[in-house]
Amino acid sequence: MKNIINPIKIGIACIVIAFSNSCTDRITFQDEGALEIPQVENTSARYLWIGPDYKLVVEAVIKDNDALSSVQTLNSEWQVNKTTSISGKQLIMNDTFPVTKDANNTKHKVELVIKNDRGGVLRTTIEVEDLSGTNQIEGYTPDLLPPVITVTAPAVNRFYGINPAPIPIDVEASVTEENAMSGIYVKVWGESVDGTYFQMEDSWTPSTEEEKQAYTYRKHLEIPGGIVGEYQFLIRATDESGNQATTGGNLVVGMMDRLYLSDAKNEQEVTGQGFDAYASADAWGIGTLLPMRKIGNNLFTLNYYYRNDDDENIRFIAFMGNDRPFNTSPRGIRYTLNGENVVAHASSGKVTADMSSADFKLPVSRKGYYTITVDMTARTITAIPYEPTNPDFANAALFPGFSPANPYGYLAIIAGGSVAGTAGWAEIDNNTSLYKETGHDFLYSGAFTTVGGVNISFQAPKASLSGNTGWFRLSAARANMKDTYGDLISEIKPVGASGNGANYGISLSGNKNYYATYDLITYRLRIVQVP
């Protein structure tokens, strides 16, 4: 311990000595008197409205006992920065700066930096007095407010325009003006996809004193239909002082957001198509309408099995904006097979809105799996065949005992007895089933009757099963199954063991007769009510 303390003591002693020594040299500060700085008095800064202009006026009396050198005027928000070289002992400052009009009431300050030739600097701040509320020129009362336009029509700005008939548009706007309106100008313009330009101009001038202050403008016009086009409309009202108010909007024709393929044979299969009716989680996807994936502007595609039956009734239903084919709550259907948003194949790969000339088929002559593409701009349809394959077939848990060469004879309906001809949670003798269709390799169809509230699954034939396998049920929780447009749907897929997937089947309303078809390639389940 001693060995440690001693060096510390010695060190402290050295520092004290060194410090003491350093204090022996006395530094003397001589009083040379304060540096003289300029003085300023009678300062003012005013923000003025003079005629149509706004100005900042800065006044001050600047003095110095010896000689002034410069004065700098600063205001950062108006970006005022002016330096003036001066001389003499006094300056009566009266500077004016053009400034912009404040949109808001704004607190401004002006800074003066005044220097004298001895290096003295005076900085002073002057608060700006806002006098811009009143124009400095008596009687100057300009009308700065434009008319007010309220557009009441068109209330809709997107149009299906599938039919070649011109699309009627009503333009309606109420215009009011405090002083006097001089006129209204309306323009509708744009072009269709083939480059055809459309323009309509109209103008109106008031004929009475009342009309100068309030007028409702109305104009009926027609823009081209039957072809995709984009248009704009403009309404401009001008008052006698030249103030203008302008408003307007877009008009879009034929740009579809969603397209669906419908293979309902008739309207009854539209209204009677199946939907999963579980509690409040109603979901479509098991009926006669199939959402087509949007792959481009007005371009939609779908993989589809085409039966090529004589009574094919293939139609394409388009929707725009927030329009949807279904309500989910309450359950409802919001389309028909003959609406203004429906097209069908006519001939030579074209689709038409004229149902009298449509054949309602695909542009092919053989049954099979096709990739269908519909171009709603060119109004064309193509159907490219593809080889049906399904990698799930190789999964023995999903398709026990199945191969395309040795397909199931049927898929048993398992519904706990809530479908006539079923009982419990396993296949029974003569179980109600969907049977493999002759001539359609991967389709299973059949009729069934529900009894009360039901929970329907399907299962591979019991002779093929190896333990708990071969179930076809909802593939995910209902809230997680959505179509290409983000709408809730129900999908039935092979899940293997019953506990996989969402562990639920679909729900159908009770005591009704249904006919179902299930496709093992696309996993489409098509259910319709039958009499």
Contact set with other proteins (CB under 8 A): 76-77, 79, 100-107, 109, 144-146, 148-149, 187, 189, 230, 232, 234, 236, 243-250, 257, 294-299, 321-322, 391, 394-395, 476, 480, 482, 484, 486
Q: Which is nearer to other proteins, 39 or 380 (CB)?
A: 380
| Least distance to other proteins, CB of residue 79, Å | 7
Report how far apart, in Å, the C-alpha atoms of 504 and of each of 103, 148, 289, 416, 495 are.
Answer: 63, 59, 23, 12, 11
Q: Which is nearer to other proteins, 27 or 144 (CB)?
A: 144
| Least distance to other proteins, CB of residue 301, Å | 12
d(CA 363, CA 235): 46
| Least distance to other proteins, CB of residue 207, Å | 24
| Least distance to other proteins, CB of residue 24, Å | 41
| Least distance to other proteins, CB of residue 502, Å | 12
- Through-space distance between the first and last CA atoms of the chain, rounded to whole angstroms: 108
| Least distance to other proteins, CB of residue 250, Å | 6
Contacts 24+ apart (CB under 8 A), 118-123: 118/35, 118/36, 118/66, 119/35, 120/35, 120/36, 120/37, 120/38, 120/64, 121/37, 122/37, 122/38, 122/39, 122/40
Q: Which is nearer to other proteins, 136 or 484 (CB)?
A: 484
- Cα–Cα–Cα angle for 108, 111, 113, nearest 5°? 175
- Token pair 């593939």 is found at 475
Q: Which is nearer to other proteins, 234 or 423 (CB)?
A: 234
Q: Which is nearer to other proteins, 29 or 197 (CB)?
A: 197
Residue 78 sits at φ, ψ, to 5 deg, of -95, 0
Which residues, in sequence order, are CB contacts of 491 under 8 Å at separation 6+? 285, 474, 475, 476, 481, 523
Q: Which is nearer to other proteins, 69 or 73 (CB)?
A: 73
d(CA 284, CA 261): 14
Q: What is the dihedral of CA 246, 249, 251, 256, to 10 degrees?
A: 170
| 200 in Cβ contact with 185 (< 8 Å) | no
If one counts every other C-beta atom within 10 angstroms of the C-beta of residue 357, the result is 11
Report how far apart, in Å, the C-alpha atoms of 165 and of each of 113, 201, 227, 317, 408 are.
Answer: 75, 21, 10, 19, 52
| Least distance to other proteins, CB of residue 150, Å | 8
d(CA 99, CA 127): 16
- Indicate the pairing of strand 181-192 with strand 197-204: antiparallel
DSSP assignment of 92-104, as one string? EEEEEEEEPPPSS
Q: Which is nearer to other proteins, 299 or 434 (CB)?
A: 299
Amino acid identity, residue 31? D
| Least distance to other proteins, CB of residue 236, Å | 7
Q: Which is nearer to other proteins, 50 or 428 (CB)?
A: 50
Q: Which is nearer to other proteins, 382 or 395 (CB)?
A: 395
| Least distance to other proteins, CB of residue 523, Å | 13
Q: Which is nearer to other proteins, 182 or 232 (CB)?
A: 232
| 370 in Cβ contact with 309 (< 8 Å) | no
Cα–chain-centroid distance for residue 193? 23
| Least distance to other proteins, CB of residue 309, Å | 31
